[in-house]
Structure 1
Amino acid sequence: MLIVEPVLEAVGEVGAAPWPVSVLPPYTFLVLTGRLSESDVGAAMALLTDWFATDPDESGCVPDAAERVRRLIAADQVAAAGGLRVRDAVTGVTVTPGCCCGLEDWRQWLRLPDGVHVYLGHDPTPRVEFDGRVVHVWPDGGDDEERPAGQPIRLPLSELPGMLHSVRAELAGFLDLVARWADRHVPAQAAELVAKLDADLEIGAPLTTP
């Protein structure tokens, strides 16, 4: 059984935020679902706004909750370190997004049936190989000339649409939680925040090939 999950990566420790956050060790992944606790949603929002949280404003003040969210909304594109994590519950093999992979590009997986190699990051560097209507995905070794050692995940392309619909449903559930979170912490920006994440992470749009 294959399990595909949308994840955010905590590249470092989740820093101090002007709202409650759960503790995430560095280089771990937070699965985005509609079943997260409020502190987990807070951690996700801390990760999503962290890029905009370090520079003081013109008065020299560190951005508060409203300012962090305002900067996120004003950004050209939300950059969300992470992507799709694939686990084989039978073999135990897990493929995680590598560095420079972003959750905002998760719909690129729709291009696999066309034989397009999806970028899954580096260090680790997942490797994708096509074998007819099956895709083999190794957790690492994408830069190696030789086939990596170990066992890949075997992904039948016939199962891919159902998996991606599941990912979309999980992201939609997460977005619902963000709406509730925003109503509590940044009510004046709640609608804009939800619309921004929906658009930039391509959550609500129909699943069609790019």
Structure 2
Amino acid sequence: MIVMQPVLEIFAVDDFALWPVGEHESYGYLVLNGELTLAEVGTAVRQIADCNGFGPEEEHGPCPADPLGAFLNGLLIMPDLVATGGFRVTDDATGTVFVEPGCCNGLETWRDWLDVLDGTGCSSFGHDPSSVAERVGDTVRLTLDVHGGDGSPVIQLSVDHVRTLVAGAQLDLRHFLGLAGTWAEQHLPAHAAAVTAALVRALDLTPAP
């Protein structure tokens, strides 16, 4: 069965102590959904906050003096947030990957999939690998690596099938957001509302009605 999952690329950090996080292989992917453990949610929030940090030489106003406030500062004040990763497409029966978010791709651009379905009809998802989705009539062609030659996995799915997959992946993001909101109330009570609102922006989601 073909599945589409929102995945967050994780950069492992050995000495993080601001809240509990899980162990995760560096440069691996964490699937975001409503079934994560609290430690995995902590890992995801740490990664997204870290993605949006900035150096002391950058001009973004005064930085909080406390370690927690300083670490969260970029996530809470930056206007344009990023979250390394994207929507990964695999055949869970064979393990074959047809789309894998590459370098420079982020979950904040997941709506590019809607552009494939209803807009330009084509989108790429980073590089190394250079995955591409292209609409051709009533089908969408997914290529793991357009620079990979004839050996790159390719699959064609109906537009309706891809639309269903995208809707499911978006729902997974919403379930993760709900879990993260509860996590923030427990672990970051003074910043819970602001962190949850920042995650909405980083994942390009509007609050569920």
Q: With structure 2 as the length reference, what TM-score do the two structures score?
A: 0.84
What residue in structure 2 maps to residue 5 of structure 1?
5
Q: 2:131, 2:142 within 8 Å by CA — same for their partners in 1?
A: yes
| 1:60-139 map, 5 Å | 64-94=67-97, 95-113=99-117, 114-139=119-144
- Matched residues in 2 for 1:27 and 1:87: separation? 18
Deviations 1:109-132 (A, max 9, x none): 001124432121001111334432
Gaps of 5+ in 1: none
In the alignment, the residues of structure 2 paired with residue 59 and residue 65 of structure 1 have an alpha-carbon distance, to the nearest angstrom, of 11
Identity within the alignment, %: 32
Partner of 2:155: 153
Question: SS of 1:73's equivalent?
Answer: helix
Q: 1:129 to 1:150 in 2, by over 3 A?
A: same
2:33 pairs with 1:33: yes
Tell me the equivalent position of 1:46. Answer: 46
CA contact (8 A) 1:83 1:103 kept: yes
Contact 2:130 2:144 in 1 (8 A): yes
User: Deviations 1:144-203 (Å, cap 9, x if unpaired)?
Assistant: 6xx532431322111122222211211111111211221122212211221222134222
Q: Distance in 2 between matches of 1:107 and 1:139?
A: 19
Q: Are the structure 2 counterparts of residues 102 and 59 from structure 1 closer, same or farther at C-alpha, using a change threshold of 3 Å?
A: closer
TM-score w.r.t. structure 1 length?
0.84
Q: Distance in 2 between matches of 1:204 and 1:109?
A: 17
Q: What runs of 5+ residues in structure 2 fail to find an aligned partner?
A: none
2:173 to 149, 167, 171: 171
Q: In 2 relative to 1, CA 166–127 (structure 1 residues): closer, same or farther, beyond 3 Å?
A: closer
Q: Deviations over 1:49-106 (max 9, x none)?
A: 1145574698996x62233223211011111110000012344321210000010000
2:113 maps to a residue whose letter is W
1:170, 1:59 → 2: CA distance?
Answer: 33
SS at match of 1:188: coil
Letter in 2 for 1:201: L
Q: Contact 1:21 / 1:39 at 8 angstroms: preserved in 2?
A: yes
